Amino acid sequence: MALIDVKVPDIGDFKDVAVIELLVKPGDRVAVDQSLITVESDKASMEIPSSHAGVVKELKVQLGDKVSEGSVVLTLEAEGAAAAAAPEPAPAPVAAPAVAAAVPATAPAPTPAEAPAPTVAPAVASTPAAPHQPASAPVLGLPHASPSVRKFARELGVPLAEVKGSGPKGRITLEDVQNFTKAVMAGTVQTQAQAAHAPAPAAGTGVGLDLLPWPKVDFAKFGPIERKELGRIKKISGANLMRNAVMIPAVTNHDDADITELEAFRVQLNKEHEKSGIKVTMLAFLIKACVAALKKFPEFNSSLDGDALIFKHYWHIGFAADTPNGLVVPVIKHADQKGILQISQEMAELAKKAREGKLGPADMSGATFTISSLGGIGGRYFTPIINAPEVAILGVCKSQMEPKWDGKQFVPRLMLPLSLTWDHRVIDGAAAARFNAYLGQILADFRRVLL
C-alpha cells in the first residue's frame, strides 16, 4: 500500500480559495472522482475530487484554509494499480466559468487515470446546475449532489443528508431541496433537528409560519429584464430588518407636533451662525427632544433581556441616513450632554462619512433609540421598523402648513408628522400616546427641555 498525496488539480484562475466543506474524514474509503472537499471563491464553489481510490490516512486541510492548484488535500493509502505506480495526477481541464456551470457540461468524461475536472457552480445559482454524472456512486452514503445544490441547501439551512434524491443514482437535485423545504414549511415533514427540539404540538395548534412558497415567476416571459445582485449593505440590513419585522410585535402611533415657533428659531439660529459653517437641522432638535422624552419614559430607552428589561442610563441616538449604497444608522453618543450646535455638526460629519462609505463599527453601535427622518424628502406618515435590541423608533415626515382652530379662528401652523413604532412586549399603547404627546409639547415649546 503506497501513501499518496492527493492534490488540488488545475482549477483555472482560482487561487487561494477557501475550504468550506470537508466531505471525507480519516479512515473513509474513497473512490476515484469522489468529492473530497468543497472550495469557494467569491464567484463560484467547486468540489475537489480524488485522483485515486483508497483509504484516507490524514486530512491536510481544515475548514477556512485557503488552497490553490498543487495544495495537498489529504494523504491516501492507495489501492489497486495506483498503489503500485502511484502516478502524479494529470492536470485537470481548466474549470468552467461560473455562468457556464448552468448549462450542460461538454467536456469529455474523465478516465480513471485522469484527474477529473472540478465541478463549478455559480456562487448564487439562478438556474439548476447541470446534472454531473460521477464515475462511481458515492461511498459511505454521503449526500450526493452538485456544488450548486449543496450551496443552495446550505443557504436555506437544509440538511442534505435528510433529503431524498430523485436524480440518477439517488442524486439530490435542486427541485428535491425545494420540495423538502416546502414540505418542512407546510409541516408535513420535520427535520431531525426539529424533531429533537420541538415540543409535541397539541392537536389543532399551528406550528411554524406555515407560509406559501415564494412565488416563482419567469419575468422574462413578460418583457426584458436585468438581474443585479444586492449590495453588501442591503444584504446585511435586509436580514436584520426581516428578523426585526418578524420577531417584534410592533405597533405604530401617529401624531403631529406644532413646530411653527421652533422652525422660526432654527432659521434664526442658522442666520446667526452662517459664518460658522454649521447648519442647524430640525433633526438635531428632534434628537434633543427625544432624549427629554426618553428620560421621562425610561422604558423607551430599554432593551428586553429574557424576562427582564435593561434600562440604559445613557442616551445614544441613532439616525437613519440614506446613502448611495443603502441605509445606515450612525449614532450620536451621549446626546443628553450635547447642545444643538454640537449635535448638528456631528450629524453632518457622520452623514458625510456615511455617504462616503467610511463609517466604522464604532460610529454605528450603541444606540438606545433611533430616529428615521424623511422630512427632507416628503411623505406624511410611515411605519418604521424597530432596530433591535432597541424597543422603539421615531419616524418623521415632512412638515407642512395646516389650518388649526385656535378656539376662535383657523390659523396657519407648521405641523410635523410623527410615527412612533414600539415593541408591545415592553410598551403599551397608552405609554406610546403619552410619549408622542410629550414630544409634541417639547417641540411646540422647546423651553420645556429644561424642565
Per-residue DSSP letter, 402: E
Nearest to ligand COA by Cβ — which residue?
A: 375
Instruction: Collect all residues with Cβ–Cβ distance below 8 Å to 185 and sequence separation of at least 6.
Output: 208, 209, 210, 211, 213
For the question of residue 316 being annotated catalytic, the response is no
Catalytic residue among 144, 313, 334, 424: 424
Nearest alpha carbon to residue 171 among 129, 227, 212: 129
Q: Show contacts with ligand COA in window 348-367 (CB under 6 A).
A: 351
Selected from 416, 418, 427, 439, the binder of ligand COA by CB under 6 A is 416
Kindly tell me which of 33 and 390 has the beta carbon lying closer to ligand COA. Answer: 390
Q: Residue 377: what residue type?
A: I
Question: Closest distance between ligand COA and the C-beta of residue 264, in Å?
Answer: 13
Question: Closest distance between ligand COA and the C-beta of residue 28, in Å?
Answer: 51
Selected from 173, 399, 421, 436, the binder of ligand COA by CB under 6 A is 399
Selected from 21, 65, 322, 336, the binder of ligand COA by CB under 6 A is 322
Residue 107 CA neighbour count, 13 Å, CB half: 20
* Interaction of residue 41 with ligand COA, rule CB under 6 A: no
Q: Which long-range contacts (CB under 8 A, 24 or more apart) does 210-217 make?
A: 210/185, 210/186, 211/185, 213/178, 213/181, 213/182, 213/185
Selected from 83, 135, 278, 327, the binder of ligand COA by CB under 6 A is 327
Give the whole-angstrom CA distance, residue 223 versus residue 206.
Answer: 40
Of 9-17, 81-89, 187-195, 372-380, which part binds ligand COA (CB under 6 A)? 372-380
Q: Which residue do the cell numbers 382652530 mark?
A: 405
Selected from 321, 367, 386, 392, the binder of ligand COA by CB under 6 A is 321
Kindly tell me which of 32 and 396 has the beta carbon lying closer to ligand COA. Answer: 396
Kindly tell me which of 14 and 319 has the beta carbon lying closer to ligand COA. Answer: 319
Bridge partners of 72, per DSSP, are 7
CA separation, residue 451 to residues 107, 292, 343, 345 (Å): 79, 9, 20, 25
Per-residue DSSP letter, 436: H
Per-residue DSSP letter, 388: T
Q: Show contacts with ligand COA in window 231-290 (CB under 6 A).
A: 281-283
Selected from 38, 50, 373, 419, the binder of ligand COA by CB under 6 A is 373
Kindly tell me which of 184 and 350 has the beta carbon lying closer to ligand COA. Answer: 350
- DSSP for 288-331, written as a single string: HHHHHHHHHSGGGGEEEETTEEEE-SS--EEE-EEETTEEE--E
Kindly tell me which of 171 and 266 has the beta carbon lying closer to ligand COA. Answer: 266
CA separation, residue 210 to residues 205, 238, 240 (Å): 12, 21, 21
Selected from 154, 398, 404, 434, the binder of ligand COA by CB under 6 A is 398
Give the whole-angstrom CA distance, residue 418 versus residue 382.
Answer: 9
Question: Closest distance between ligand COA and the C-beta of residue 418, in Å?
Answer: 10
Of 160-168, 294-302, 333-341, 368-376, which part binds ligand COA (CB under 6 A)? 368-376
Question: Closest distance between ligand COA and the C-beta of residue 321, in Å?
Answer: 4
* Interaction of residue 419 with ligand COA, rule CB under 6 A: no
Question: Closest distance between ligand COA and the C-beta of residue 364, in Å?
Answer: 13
Q: Residue 287: what residue type?
A: I
Question: Closest distance between ligand COA and the C-beta of residue 232, in Å?
Answer: 18
- Strands 369-373 and 392-396 come out as parallel
> Given the rule CB under 6 A, which residues bind ligand COA?
281-283, 319-322, 327, 351, 372-376, 384, 396, 398-399, 416
Give catalytic residue positions.
424
